[in-house]
Structure 1
Amino acid sequence: MISFKDLNGLEVDLSFGHSDFTIPARHVLVVLKKDDKWLLTRHSLRGIEFPGGKVEDAETLEEAAIRETIEETGVTLTAVRKIAEYVVHDTVPFCKAVFTGRVLGMDSQFEKRETEGIVWMTDDELNHCNTLSFHMKDAGMAAIRKWVTEHEK
Structure 2
Amino acid sequence: MTDQPTTEQPGISAAIIVHEDRVLMVRRRVKEGELMWQFPAGAIEDGETAEQAAVRETEEETGLIVEAIKLIGERVHPKTGRLMSYTACSPLEGEAHVADEDELDAVAWVTHGEIPEYVPYGLYERVQEYLDEVIGLPEGEGEADHAGN
TM-score, normalised to structure 1, is 0.67
SS of 1:146's equivalent in the other structure is: helix
Aligned partner of 2:93 in structure 1 is: 105
Percent identical: 24
Q: Counterparts of 2:96 and 2:26 in 1: how far apart (Å)? A: 16
Match of 1:145 among 120, 128, 136: 128
Confirm whether residue 21 of structure 1 aligns to residue 2 of structure 2.
yes
SS of 2:72's equivalent in the other structure is: strand
- Post-superposition offset of 1:27: 1.3
> What number of residue pairs does the alignment pair up?
127
Aligned partner of 1:94 in structure 2 is: 82
Unaligned runs of 5+ in 2: 137-149
- Post-superposition offset of 1:152: 7.3
Q: Counterparts of 2:17 and 2:50 in 1: how far apart (Å)? A: 16
Matches within 5 A, 1:41-120: 41-44=26-29, 45-88=34-77, 93-107=81-95, 111-113=99-101, 114-120=103-109
The one-character-per-residue Cα deviations of 1:78-113 (angstroms, maximum 9, x if unpaired) are 2432110111367x8431111012110124786343
The one-character-per-residue Cα deviations of 1:6-57 (angstroms, maximum 9, x if unpaired) are xxxxxxxxxxxxxx21534721111122111110111133421111111122
Moved over 6 A (4+): none
Contact 1:32 1:148 in 2 (8 A): no
Letter in 1 for 2:11: R
SS of 1:57's equivalent in the other structure is: coil
Contact 1:26 1:55 in 2 (8 A): yes
Q: Counterparts of 2:135 and 2:98 in 1: how far apart (Å)? A: 26
Letter in 2 for 1:86: R
| Change beyond 3 A, Cα 1:124–1:42 | same
| Change beyond 3 A, Cα 1:93–1:149 | same
Q: Counterparts of 1:28 and 1:108 in 2: how far apart (Å)? A: 18
- Post-superposition offset of 1:143: 4.1
Confirm whether residue 124 of structure 1 aligns to residue 124 of structure 2.
no
Q: Counterparts of 2:108 and 2:23 in 1: how far apart (Å)? A: 8
TM-score, normalised to structure 2, is 0.69
Unaligned runs of 5+ in 1: 1-19
Q: Counterparts of 1:93 and 1:64 in 2: how far apart (Å)? A: 19
- Over the aligned positions, Cα root-mean-square deviation in angstroms equals 2.8
| Change beyond 3 A, Cα 1:117–1:74 | farther
